[in-house]
Amino acid sequence: MSGKLSIFIDESGDLGVNISKGSSKIFVITAVVFSKSNEMDKVNTLINKIKDKHNLINKEIKFNKTNTKFKKDIISKILKEKFMIYYFSWTKCNDSVKLKYLDALSQLLSQFGKNDANVVIDGNLPKNEQKDIKKELRKIITLKINKLTFKNSKSDNLLQVADLMSGLIYKILQKDREYKAFSKILDKKIRRF
């Protein structure tokens, strides 16, 4: 993949290691990657049309808060569009070492080599934490980040796509039979590492 990339990142699961006390067994951080702005615009327009059809304008579509039938319908439509999906997953056991968010994020972003990219990450971190993450990432990855933004997914359709893809991958990794049919479709879009 070469040229300027637009990368939208979200995660599913949590970084906690105490599974017996409610931490997830899996943590997934997912990047939805566009290599052309017109492809990004097309997906954004698709999401707006779907939201309009279902009276969801100005609403956020989240994997864990959307009914299954609607979720499957919207994911099927989104997966027909041109973008790639990269993800990093961590399957935990009770004696796992705690993974830091920065570690997972750097593992994910290191997959893009020396390309130029604009990166948008779901989340509202305090400014000092955002600054620290940006500084550390620039030290440890070769990706040339032109712009790194932390944003609330409620106001960004493409972060909502990242949320849907991350949730879907999470369910597939959990071997959830309800989402098994998406495995073959995802295989064409996913770059695992």
Q: Is 79 within 8 Å of 186 (Cβ atoms)?
A: yes
What is the average pLDDT across 27-50? Answer: 94
pLDDT digits 0-9 by tens, 43-82:
999 999 999 988 888 889 999 898 888 888 899 999 999 9
Mean pLDDT rounded to a whole number for the chain: 87
Domain ranges, residue 121: 4-192
Q: For residues 148 and 99, what is the distance between their CA atoms, to the nearest angstrom? A: 22
| β-bridge pairing 84-91 and 4-12 | unpaired
| pLDDT higher than threshold 70 for residue 134 | yes
Number of domains in the chain: 1
Instruction: Confirm if 11 and 29 have CB atoms less than 8 A apart.
Output: yes
CB 151 within 8 Å of CB 122: yes
Report residue 167's pLDDT band, with 50, 70 and 90 as the boundaries: very high
Q: Spell 49-85 as b/e; 16+ CB within 10 A means b.
A: ebbeeeebeeebbebeebeeeebbebbeebbebebbb
Q: 113 in the Ramachandran plot: left (φ > 0), alpha (ψ -120 to 50) or beta?
A: left
Predicted TM-score of the model (pTM): 0.90
CATH of residue 147: 3.30.420.10
Give the per-residue SS3 of 144-164.
Answer: EEEEEEEECHHHCHHHHHHHH
Cα distance between residue 54 and residue 141, in whole Å: 41
